[in-house]
Structures are given as structure tokens and as C-alpha cells.
């Protein structure tokens, strides 16, 4: 399993690092800079509003299905047609909910127009993730890797034409960005659907109310987890816009979005770990095989990566934001420093939260997520009126550290891992070394590009010196399995 994890993680990372950085820094960043002031903030707020109701689109089915198919491959043929029908029913409930709540909180006609297309996009994204849960549940990781980047490849194509291929001098409109996403998601969903239909021997949609009730009952704990985590991960921009005066709120969301986009970019890398680990952990747990080795291997890799990225990025936050954006850069830099520090606990969550999900420890995870939601909302109410977007960043990083620590404690209580103090001290020693390396290089090397690369390289070398990354061991593992 370790060999399968490393080889497929490597392939998945390769494809995503090949495609998604250009999407984020070449397309998404360009759109942020080219649209009129406040336009991206408007889009970002409505987008995060639609995220808050994703529970109604999926109801935890994707997470439940990934674990279920990984442990019982034969259920794909039995469940697929019924779940596909159920998802269309849930989509109707989702659209009714977002329009009703949007009317209650005072969204205007333009908000509603964006809600239509962004809601469709959320439905398509949810459908793609469900289809991918079947593919990865069958441990077809290479096919899943291709599907994971297909939507971004298509978006790059469509947005490149709209950004640079037009003869008109008409400014770029943010709604074109939304249209491009809709078309890309639709084509990706159709591609993934064809793959799953072939594996599932699908012929027609199934209507079975008893089956619907059974799936909803079994997936409800997963649905609740998604709902609670969506609130403490995505409500920030909505609260900024609603808690601050009109105009100021949108401007502050613009600032927050600039910083959050970079966190979202690196977060995509950490998310890839969970894509592979859910079915692997689920299979190991079903076979009653020890998970300690897989947890340590994956955690060491992701902690090393997140510590280097977060530390180097925070030390050179001013230069990074000035390089990428125009306007309100200093305000965005302050937000970015705190959000990128939060990448460290987020990465921890992708290991221990994934382990607990694969184990079916949903009650404990939901209690954790409820605590996270309460902490985040309370802190946002206190900090946003005083510190605006930066206050929301404070709330985010506190919440992420609190929930990550809780998940580690829960995992320790359930799996009774042997506490390896030498390993823990090595991690602390590594983190301290990364900070010291950045302090020295940032003060001694005047070319920040060179200093940034040198700091990352030296930090990685430090991980090799401490044998957190054992190249010889990895090579032997890949050779021998």
C-alpha cells in the first residue's frame, strides 16, 4: 500500500503541478487584475455563498461512497443508478434553498443571475467529485488523476481565448469567467460519467425511495461534517461583506480574495493526499492491517511540505503579493501572512481527518467540526468589525489550529498510536531550522527570488539531514513494494 500511495501520489502531484499553477497564477490572477475593482470580490462572495449549501447537493454521499466502494467494489453496479437519481433530486432542493436564503438576506437581481450559473457550477463540481469517488474507490488512481485536472485544462483553454484571443477592446467581464467554468465542468462531468458508466454497467436511472432513504441515512453523518466544515472554511467572505458597510465590505472581500486565492492554490496540493488516502486507509482498516506506517509516511511528507511553503511564503509575503497583484497589496499581504500559516494545520487535517473519515468516526469528527464552526463564527463577529479582512484571517488561523489539534487527539485515542518522542522532537527541530534558515537568508540575500529559492532548497536539505525524508528508504520501497 505504501508503494501504491507513493507512486500514485507522485503521478497525481505531477499532473496537478503541471496544470493548476498556470490556472491559478496565469488565468485566475489575470482575471482578478483585469476586471473592474470590486468585481472579483462580488464573484467571490456569491461563490462562497453557494459553497455554504453544498451539503444539499451531496449530502455526504461522496465521502460515504468513496469509503464504501473502496471496501466493497461490487456495490458500484448495485448503487450507481439509484445514487445518480438521488443526486438530481438533491440538486432541486439545493437550488430552492440558495434562492430562498438569498432573497431573505437581501440579494439583488445581479446576485441572483450569478447564483444561477454558480449554482449550476456547484452541481457539476459535486457530480464530478461523486464520479471520481467511484473511480478512486476502485483504486484507479491514474484515471482519477487525469479527471482531476481536465476541468482546469479546459478552463485554461476557454479563458485564454477570452483574455488574449479577442480582437475587441471590450474589457473582460467577470461573468465570462463563470461561463467558462460552467462549460469546462460540464465537459469534465460527461467524460467522468462515461468512465463510471462503463465500470458500473449502467443502463438507466433507478427510482427506489427505500434505497434513497437508506443512502441518506447512512451518508447523513458525512453530510453533517461537510456542512459544518463548509461554514468554518467558507463563511469568512460572506461575513465580511455582511458585517461591514456597503462598499467597504465588497472592497475588503476583494482584499481577502487576493490572499485566499494563494492559500487555495497550495491547499489543492494538500487535498490530493486525501484523495488517495481515503480509499487506502479504508482498505487497510477493513483488512485489519496496521495504519501506523501509512499515517507516519503521509504526515511526514505533508508536514515537511506545508512547513516549508508556509514559512517561506510568510517571510516573502510582501514581494509575492506585489509580484502577483495590483491595488490594495499591503492590506492583502497582512491577510495572506495569517492565512498561509493556517496551511500547516490544514495539512494536518488532510491526514488525520482523512484517517478518521475512512474509519467511520463521524460522531467525533462532527463534534470537532461543530466546535470549529462556533469558534470561527464567534471570532469573525468579534474581529471583522475591528480589523476587517485581517480580523477574518485571524479567526481562520485560530480555527484551523484548534480543529487540527482536536483531530490528532481523537485519532490517538481511537488508534492508540505509539508516541514516538524522538520523531516529535525531530519535527520540532525541523520547524525551528526552517524558520532560522529564512531569517538568515531574508536578511543576507537582497534578491528575494534567489533568497526564496535558496530558503526552500535549504529547508528541503534540512529535512534530508534529519532523515524526515529518507531517499534510500523510498527507493527501496518503490522497488520492493
Detail the DSSP E strand segments found in 151-201. Answer: none
Residue 143 has a CB neighbour count (10 Å cut-off) of: 16
C-alpha cell at 412: 490517538
With both helix axes pointing from N to C terminus, report the angle between 329-341 and 292-315 in degrees, rounded to the nearest 10: 160
C-alpha cell at 401: 489550529
Per-residue DSSP letter, 245: P
- Length of the chain counted residue by residue: 481
Domain contains 65: yes
In angstroms and rounded to an integer, the radius of gyration of the C-alpha atoms of the chain is 22
Spans in the chain with pLDDT lower than 70: 1-6, 8, 66, 68-70, 72-75, 77-78, 201-206, 327-328, 470-481
Q: CA 263 from chain center: how many Å?
A: 9
Q: Report how many domains make up the chain.
A: 1
Contact between residue 244 and residue 41 where contact means Cβ atoms under 8 Å apart: no
Q: Could you list the residue range(s) of the whole structural domain that residue 75 is in?
A: 2-418
> Coil, strand, or helix at residue 67?
helix
Domain contains 443: no
Cα dihedral sign, 319-325-326-329: negative
Distance CA 262, CA 258 (A): 7
Distance CA 314, CA 304 (A): 16
Render pLDDT for 57-96 as a digit per residue (tens, 0 to 9). 877 777 777 676 667 666 676 677 778 888 888 899 999 9
Domain contains 277: yes
Contact between residue 218 and residue 64 where contact means Cβ atoms under 8 Å apart: yes
Domain contains 452: no
Distance CA 36, CA 212 (A): 46
Tell me how far CA of residue 186 lies from CA of 124, 152, 328, 386, 445, in angstroms. 6, 12, 35, 42, 48
C-alpha cell at 387: 480589523
Per-residue DSSP letter, 417: -
Domain contains 346: yes
Distance CA 218, CA 469 (A): 39
Per-residue DSSP letter, 321: H
C-alpha cell at 248: 467597504
Domain contains 360: yes
In three state form, how does the secondary structure of 262-284 look?
HHHHHHHHHHHHHHHHHHHHHHH
pLDDT of residue 475: 59
Domain contains 274: yes
pLDDT of residue 77: 65
Buried b (16+ CB within 10 A) or exposed e, 195-215: bbeebbebeeebeeeebbeeb
Instruction: Please choose, from the candidates 248, 200, 204, the residue with its C-alpha nearest in 3D space to the C-alpha of residue 65.
Output: 200
Residue 264 has a CB neighbour count (10 Å cut-off) of: 14
**Which distant-in-sequence residues (6+ apart) come within 8 Å of 11 by Cβ?**
141, 142, 145
Domain contains 155: yes
Amino acid at each position: 500500500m505504501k508503494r501504491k500511495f507513493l507512486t500514485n501520489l507522485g503521478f497525481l502531484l505531477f499532473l496537478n503541478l503541471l496544470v493548476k499553477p498556470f490556472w491559478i497564477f496565469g488565468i485566475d490572477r489575470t482575471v482578478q487584475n483585469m476586471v473592474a475593482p470590486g468585481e472579483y470580490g462580488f464573484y467571490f462572495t456569491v461563490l462562497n455563498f453557494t459553497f455554504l449549501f453544498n451539503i444539499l447537493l451531496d449530502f455526504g454521499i461522496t465521502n460515504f461512497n468513496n469509503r464504501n466502494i473502496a471496501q466493497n467494489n461490487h456495490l458500484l453496479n448495485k448503487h450507481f443508478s439509484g445514487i445518480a437519481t438521488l443526486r438530481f433530486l438533491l440538486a432541486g432542493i439545493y437550488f430552492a434553498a440558495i434562492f430562498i436564503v438569498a432573497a431573505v438576506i437581501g440579494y439583488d437581481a445581479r446576485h441572483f443571475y450569478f447564483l444561477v450559473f454558480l449554482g449550476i457550477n456547484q452541481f457539476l463540481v459535486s457530480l464530478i467529485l461523486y464520479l471520481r469517488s467511484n473511480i478512486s474507490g476502485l483504486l484507479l488512481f491514474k484515471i482519477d488523476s487525469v479527471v482531476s485536472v481536465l476541468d482546469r485544462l479546459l478552463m485554461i483553454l476557454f479563458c485564454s481565448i477570452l483574455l488574449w484571443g479577442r480582437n475587441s477592446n471590450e474589457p473582460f467581464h467577470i461573468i465570462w469567467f463563470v461561463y467558462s467554468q460552467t462549460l469546462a465542468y460540464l465537459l469534465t462531468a460527461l467524460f467522468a460519467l462515461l468512465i463510471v458508466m462503463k465500470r458500473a454497467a449502467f443502463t438507466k436511472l433507478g427510482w427506489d425511495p427505500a434505497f434513497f432513504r437508506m443512502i441518506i441515512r447512512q451518508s447523513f453523518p458525512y453530510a453533517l461534517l461537510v456542512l459544518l466544515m463548509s461554514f468554518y472554511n467558507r463563511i469568512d467572505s460572506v461575513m465580511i461583506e455582511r458585517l461591514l458597510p456597503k462598499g467597504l465590505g465588497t472592497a475588503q472581500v476583494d482584499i481577502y480574495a487576493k490572499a485566499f486565492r494563494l492559500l487555495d492554490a497550495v491547499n489543492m496540493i494538500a487535498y490530493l493526499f486525501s484523495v488517495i488516502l481515503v480509499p487506502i486507509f479504508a482498505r487497510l482498516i477493513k483488512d485489519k492491517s496496521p495504519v501506523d506506517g501509512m499515517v507516519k509516511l503521509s504526515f511526514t511528507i505533508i508536514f515537511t511540505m506545508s512547513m516549508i511553503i508556509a514559512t517561506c511564503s510568510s517571510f516573502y509575503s510582501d514581494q509575492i503579493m506585489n509580484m502577483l497583484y495590483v491595488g490594495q497589496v499591503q492590506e492583502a499581504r497582512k491577510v495572506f501572512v495569517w492565512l498561509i500559516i493556517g496551511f500547516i494545520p490544514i495539512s494536518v487535517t488532510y491526514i488525520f481527518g482523512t484517517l478518521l473519515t475512512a474509519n467511520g468516526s463521524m460522531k467525533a469528527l462532527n463534534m470537532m467540526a461543530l466546535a470549529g464552526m462556533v469558534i470561527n463564527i464567534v471570532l469573525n463577529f468579534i474581529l471583522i468589525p475591528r480589523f476587517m479582512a485581517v480580523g477574518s484571517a485571524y479567526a481562520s488561523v485560530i480555527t484551523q489550529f484548534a480543529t487540527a489539534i482536536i483531530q490528532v487527539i481523537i485519532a490517538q485515542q481511537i488508534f492508540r498510536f505509539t508516541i514516538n518522542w524522538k520523531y516529535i522532537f525531530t519535527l520540532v527541530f525541523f520547524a525551528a531550522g526552517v524558520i532560522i534558515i529564512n531569517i538568515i537568508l531574508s536578511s543576507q540575500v537582497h534578491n528575494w527570488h534567489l533568497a526564496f529559492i535558496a530558503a526552500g532548497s535549504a529547508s528541503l536539505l534540512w529535512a534530508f539531514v534529519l532523515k524526515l525524508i529518507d531517499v534510500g528508504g523510498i527507493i527501496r520501497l518503490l522497488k520492493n513494494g
